[in-house]
Chains A and B, each alone.
Chain A
Amino acid sequence: MSSSTLEEPCLIEKCELDRLIERLKCEGFIVVGPYVEDSAIQYREIQSMRDLPRGYRDTQEPGEYRVAKLLKKNYFEFNLGPHSWKQFLFPPKLTVNSCTKKNESWEFISKVDSQPKFAFLGVRACELAAIQVQDRVFMEGPYVDPVYQARRESTFIVAVNCTVAASTCFCTSMGTGPKCKSTFDLALTELDCGFVVEVGTARGRSMISDLTTRELDPEHARDSQLLQQRAVDQITKRLDTSEILNLLMGNLDHPHWDEVAKRCLSCTNCTMVCPTCFCSSVTDVSNLSGDEIERQRQWDSCFNVDFSYTTSGTVRDDIRSRYRQWLTHKLASWHDQFASSGCVGCGRCITWCPVGIDLTVEVAAIRNTPSSNRTLPVIQPSCKAECAFPKDSKA
């Protein structure tokens, strides 16, 4: 298995993690890590290891999340909470611009100059993949989001390999985990006796330069392997991604979309917790006299009716078309746009759907009963001379 680590992994005692956190803080990073609050493991600014969810374990089912304290004393023996790192790199609310009217003319001032510098502690493999996905969205297209870029480029990432899996995890189907392979500065695997540390960047190496490290003996290496394998073995959810682009785009009129629409609340939860969903809207907030305006960008969702509003009508005016938009974008057309799936298999959309809709089940339902009369053409890059106008026959 290829790994982008710079050198052989080493071992640190658990308390050394506090020295790393201290070091990061000294270097000006806001250290963000897991933290138990309001019955969930959230991502918040942390000060020391004491803030970490030591001994906590989460259980997840469609529409259900529980966290409980166990007797074990591990710091990272849990999976994912409702938060993702996107809320730090792509903040939910942000003032991007301000406008002031002076002498009957507008002046526009950018508000995106100074951005905070984060160190993320406890980023899982699927989340690293999600960050890579958003990197492609926000930084690798023709236009760059300066806020994301400024935050992303300064972010220090301490990844953590999963040693357990939730019932909603399916990273193995998406090829994103559970092993952290790249995109981190440091990656930890938690053993009972300490953390195995892999170094991903020169910056990562320098950050642990003053920690007490020791060589990894074969026993530790084996334990680390076994724990990571345990996570793999615990993953039971599967999403069959073979030919998924043609499967979904060729079944845009499948009756199953109507079936999902009966259950889907169109409440936006799945898109909010999704670590790759990137939709937003900029709206104006004005004072009463209308001469001081702030342009605010806020997370938006393809599940909102107004999202596809045009002056000639709303394009996706029912839940069926909105769920279809989300799922086909996430799993199919994302490939066309960004050369990867938009799904990393984290399972958050399953857990945090208030009515427990599971996208892997919905895809399987379509796969098992492909539309008997295929009314819509599969999208093909090639162009044939004959053209298909499926809806024109009625016109």
Chain B
Amino acid sequence: MIKYETFSESRIFKVAKPRMGVFKFASCDGCQLQLLSCEDELLSIADAIDIVHFLEASSHVEPGPYDIALVEGSITTNVDRDRILEVRKHSKYLVTIGACATAGGIQALKNWGDRSEYLRAVYARPEYIETLSTSTAIADHVKVDYELRGCPINRLQLIDVIQSLLADRAPRTPRHSVCLDCKCRGTVCIAVAQDAVCLGPITQAGCGAICPAYQRGCYGCFGPAEQPNCDSLADWYLAGRATPVELVPLMRNFNANAPAFRECGDRIDPLLDSGGTL
């Protein structure tokens, strides 16, 4: 998918450790926090790399270039649209972290709404607010070298990515469905055994298949799995288990703007009015 060159510069000049920056766009900071929650590994991370730009952790920031840029959040303003170009320009590897950065996040729900109506409803003085009418993924604006899914991301996957980049190789984040992880941990399928509406079969693994283990349907926070067949699952659920009123919001969730979920949600959307089947 992505070609990784080497860290040869930083390797040749042994004195300098690889420099990492963490950048926030429209997001809740939860994914950055995952880096701070790497308690056991944080020291060795700090040992291996210089974190030179991480406002969540320190107000001391250094300018680029950065060997690794971790980017959290989506693009919702003109300012951010320009800022991500700057980050890209100064970064060797740009890694997007989390549903906001990889798909536009929950705030991408505004892509289906009326911006001025939202502004009036939320802000007392909407004229002070400058915002785009859409929330979009970082990859819609600049080249992204690697994506880490999730809301929030999985701390272990983040470590694997950092570790892989330090070892000069492409990270290997699994792209299979949540179902495989459910089965490996022995969870009984709640879609089959309890008629639950679960997005596990079309959602990428990485969360550890937590929700079904607690009898709750997967709501797709890691986004679409590789080559997902969303239409088939949606049709199965609509054939008796769920109404469009339940299913559309499920598709339009943290990864509403991920293409596979977006297209499926848009396909079902007309049923909201008709209440009928496809």
User: Could you list which residues of chain A lie within 8 angstroms of chain B, going by C-beta atoms?
Assistant: 37-40, 42, 63-67, 81-83, 87, 92-93, 262-269, 272-273, 283, 286-290, 298-301, 304-306, 318-319, 351-356
B-chain residues with CB within 8 Å of residue A39 when the two chains form the complex: 188, 190, 193-194
Nearest chain B CB to A340 CB, angstrom units: 24
Q: Is the CB of A38 within 8 A of B175?
A: no
A-chain residues with CB within 8 Å of residue B232 when the two chains form the complex: 262-265, 355
Q: Is the CB of A267 within 8 A of B184?
A: no
What are the interface flags for B205-239 relative to A under an 8 Å C-beta threshold, 1 for contact and 0 otherwise?
00000000001000000000111110011001000
A-chain residues with CB within 8 Å of residue B186 when the two chains form the complex: 42, 83, 87, 92
State how many residues of chain B have any CB contact under 8 Å with chain A.
Answer: 43
Task: Write the chain A residue with the least CB distance to B226.
Answer: A305
The answer for the CA separation of A305 and B227 in the assembled complex, in Å, is 8
A289: contacting residue among B48, B184, B187, B236, CB under 8 A: B48
A-chain residues with CB within 8 Å of residue B159 when the two chains form the complex: 288
Q: Is the CB of B192 within 8 A of A288?
A: no
Task: Write the chain B residue with the least CB distance to A41.
Answer: B188
Nearest chain A CB to B186 CB, angstrom units: 7
Nearest chain B CB to A276 CB, angstrom units: 15
Q: CB of B167 within 8 A of chain A?
A: yes
Nearest chain A CB to B118 CB, angstrom units: 35
The answer for the CA separation of A269 and B177 in the assembled complex, in Å, is 9
A-B contact count (CB 8 A): 131
The answer for the CA separation of A126 and B176 in the assembled complex, in Å, is 29
Q: Is the CB of A289 within 8 A of B44?
A: yes
Q: Is the CB of A268 within 8 A of B176?
A: yes
Q: Is the CB of B163 within 8 A of A268?
A: no
B-chain residues with CB within 8 Å of residue A268 when the two chains form the complex: 176-177, 179-180, 183
A355 in contact with B236 given A63-B192, A64-B192, A289-B48 (CB within 8 Å): yes
Q: A63-B192, A290-B166, A354-B191 are known; give 6 further A-B pairs, CB within 8 A.
A: A38-B190, A92-B185, A93-B184, A288-B159, A306-B176, A306-B226
B-chain residues with CB within 8 Å of residue A81 when the two chains form the complex: 188
A-B contact pairs, 7 of them (CB 8 A): A269-B189, A287-B163, A300-B180, A319-B227, A319-B229, A354-B192, A355-B236
B75-125 with Cβ < 8 A to chain A: none
Q: Is the CB of A65 within 8 A of B193?
A: yes
| Consensus secondary structure, chain B interface | helix
Q: Is the CB of A38 within 8 A of B183?
A: no
B-chain residues with CB within 8 Å of residue A37 when the two chains form the complex: 188
Q: Is the CB of B236 within 8 A of A63?
A: yes
The answer for the CA separation of A319 and B231 in the assembled complex, in Å, is 13
Task: Write the chain A residue with the least CB distance to B198.
Answer: A354
B-chain residues with CB within 8 Å of residue A319 when the two chains form the complex: 227, 229
A-chain residues with CB within 8 Å of residue B228 when the two chains form the complex: 265
A-chain residues with CB within 8 Å of residue B236 when the two chains form the complex: 63, 354-356
Q: CB of B150 within 8 A of chain A?
A: no
Q: CB of B41 within 8 A of chain A?
A: yes
Q: Is the CB of A305 within 8 A of B163?
A: no
Nearest chain B CB to A259 CB, angstrom units: 12
Task: Write the chain B residue with the least CB distance to A298.
Answer: B184
Nearest chain A CB to B133 CB, angstrom units: 34
B-chain residues with CB within 8 Å of residue A351 when the two chains form the complex: 192
Q: Is the CB of B41 within 8 A of A92?
A: no
B-chain residues with CB within 8 Å of residue A265 when the two chains form the complex: 177, 201-202, 228-229, 232-233
The answer for the CA separation of A262 and B44 in the assembled complex, in Å, is 47
A266 in contact with B229 given A273-B183, A301-B176, A306-B175 (CB within 8 Å): yes
A269: contacting residue among B44, B172, B179, B193, CB under 8 A: B179
Q: CB of B162 within 8 A of chain A?
A: yes
A283 in contact with B172 given A269-B189, A352-B189, A355-B233 (CB within 8 Å): yes
A-chain residues with CB within 8 Å of residue B215 when the two chains form the complex: 38
Nearest chain A CB to B153 CB, angstrom units: 17
Q: Is the CB of B176 within 8 A of A304?
A: yes
Nearest chain A CB to B224 CB, angstrom units: 12
The answer for the CA separation of A39 and B192 in the assembled complex, in Å, is 10
The answer for the CA separation of A142 and B27 in the assembled complex, in Å, is 55
The answer for the CA separation of A269 and B232 in the assembled complex, in Å, is 15
A354: contacting residue among B162, B172, B189, B225, CB under 8 A: B189
Q: CB of B45 within 8 A of chain A?
A: yes
A-chain residues with CB within 8 Å of residue B202 when the two chains form the complex: 265, 267
**Which has the most chain B C-beta neighbours within 10 Å: A283, A288, A300?**
A288
